[in-house]
Copies of this chain bind each other. A is one copy, B any other.
Amino acid sequence: MSSAEQSLIELCLKHQTLQRSDVWCHSGDDAAGMSPRSGEGIVTTVDAQIEGTHFDKRFTAQAIGHRSLAVSLSDIAAMGAQPCWAMASLSLPIDDSKWLSEWSQGFIRLAEQYDIECVGGNLSKGARAIHTTLIGQVNPTHALHQHTAQMGDDIYITGTLGASAWALNHPLGASSIEQSAYQQWQYPNPPVNFAQAAAPWIHACLDISDGLIEDLTRLLKRSLCAATIDLDACPYHPVLNTLSSQEAINAALLGGEVYELCFTAPQSHASMLKDLAQQHQCQLSLIGEIQPGSGLYWQQGSRRPIPQGAAFEHFKSN
């Protein structure tokens, strides 16, 4: 660990008041040391935020810090796990301690919201980018997977769709709806607590960061089943009302950077899930059903099924 890395860690720790009791080597040695709960498994994910690819000049350093962690949080949430320990590996073109300090404020504020300790860091010279590792804990028998959807399951998604897709292509105006869309894009907040609480009642789960169609299609392939989605039941972000109906559907269904979850659950658990969502202030929408066969089907109004492949191309071409 070089002096530069030391400074980063010290900078991060300056903003960090949290020290988890299961961390026995907080920083300073070559690696951090933690003691997972006896009998539990650990889950790990890594995700990147790269200037020009994932964020642009419209992002403050704080927003980038928040987002650097949030994108990994949704992966841990999708496993029904509790996020515990984070590490950030940054590259920066110049030694910019002001930027780094603001970045770490955004990162640490979100981390502490979920009792996550930042246990390590790395800083190198290079194009501006942040690669975040997040480690969580979960009982392996209770972890959520993508291949475990069952026939007749309801299909739910959390949050709303399309805000990031809209924000990517539109400047921020003065309206509170536009501000809400920008907030969701720049400060995503995956439903971590809801996912842990709801995990026992869920069959299959994944995050929809690549867009609902791409991710739900993956879940269906893994679970060897089909699904039909009701387009009228999808939770469109209100900012999409400014677009044509076709553009809105494109943004909502194909747009990525949605750090929310899509999951399936037996119909008998519907009221329990509704209650848990209310307790955790999580917007929850029942959008479809798991069916025998393969492929993703859509219905709207007349409830006419549209083959997924064609729908996808149709949305794309508009």
List residues of A whose CB falls within 8 A of some B CB.
Answer: 1-3, 24-25, 28-36, 38-39, 41-48, 50-54, 74-76, 78-79, 81, 85, 87-89, 91, 119-122, 124-127, 129, 131, 133, 135-136, 138, 140, 143-147, 206-207, 209-210, 214, 222, 256
Contacts and interface: CB of A to CB of B under 8 A. Distances in A.
Contacts of A75: 1, 30-31
Contacts of A54: 124
A125 B45 CA distance: 18
A79 to B, nearest CB: 5
17 contacts: A2-B256, A25-B140, A29-B144, A29-B145, A30-B74, A30-B146, A30-B206, A36-B41, A44-B119, A44-B133, A48-B126, A48-B131, A52-B126, A53-B126, A127-B129, A129-B129, A135-B135
The 8 closest A-B pairs by CB, nearest first: A131-B131, A30-B78, A50-B126, A30-B75, A31-B45, A127-B127, A31-B43, A89-B131
A159 to B, nearest CB: 16
A173 to B, nearest CB: 29
B48 A44 contact: no
Contacts of A1: 75, 210
Nearest to A79: B31
Contact of A120 (B39, B45, B81, B121): B45
Given A47-B122, A146-B28, A33 B129 contact: no
A31 B124 contact: no
